[in-house]
């Protein structure tokens, strides 16, 4: 299993080398649930996801600073502003997602990752693979969403 380390880049700056996911390993129900290898797998997956979001955010910020919204045509300007508005809303959703990723990483550190916060039952590996920030089993999530809908309808 790869681990993160720091080194020195070509320009002398300190660089954090983030590990890539072990592409040969996939958690399996044939092994003990949330063993060290599974926890490391999900930790790396979450770190890689977070880094990807942060990189996209930096790219968006750089692009905002480079691009000028001073198009002479009013229609072009409106179109650009709409595009940037959508992009910024996407980045805001991703900012909220980072806090969920951080919470999942804390659950890994605290030994609570992979277990439903409502029932305490293991969350399926397939669900965690698809949504590594999941905090509930599919069944508990469905019950929660039904209750939310009933509350909204009242």
Report the pLDDT value the prediction gives residue 37, as an integer from 0 to 100. 96
Least confident of 64-73, 84-93, 102-111: 64-73
Ranges in the chain annotated CATH 1.20.120.910? 32-113
CA nearest neighbour of 54 among 15, 89, 97? 97
> Is 32-113 assigned to CATH 3.30.420.40?
no
For 1-12, what is the mean pLDDT? 40
Cβ atoms of residues 134 and 142 within 8 Å: no
Per-state percent for the chain, helix, strand, coil, to nearest 5: 60, 5, 35
Q: Report residue 108 as tokens.
A: 């890994």
pTM above 0.85, yes or no: no
CA nearest neighbour of 34 among 151, 153, 128, 147? 128
Report the pLDDT value the prediction gives residue 12, as an integer from 0 to 100. 44
Q: Residue 107 above 80 pLDDT?
A: yes
């Amino acid at each position: 299993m790869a681990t993160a380390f720091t080194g020195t880049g070509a320009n002398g700056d300190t660089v954090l080398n983030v590990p890539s996911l072990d592409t040969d390993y996939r958690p399996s129900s044939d092994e003990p649930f949330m063993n060290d290898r599974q926890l490391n797998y999900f930790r790396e997956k979450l770190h890689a996801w977070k880094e990807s979001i942060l990189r996209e955010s930096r790219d968006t910020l750089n692009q905002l600073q480079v691009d000028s919204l001073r198009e002479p045509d009013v229609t072009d300007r409106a179109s650009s502003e709409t595009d940037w508005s959508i992009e910024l809303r996407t980045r805001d959703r991703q900012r909220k997602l980072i806090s969920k990723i951080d919470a999942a990483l804390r659950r890994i550190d605290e030994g609570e990752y992979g277990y439903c916060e409502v029932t305490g039952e293991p969350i399926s590996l397939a669900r965690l693979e698809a949504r590594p920030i999941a905090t509930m089993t599919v069944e508990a999530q469905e019950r929660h969403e039904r209750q939310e809908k009933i509350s909204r309808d009242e």
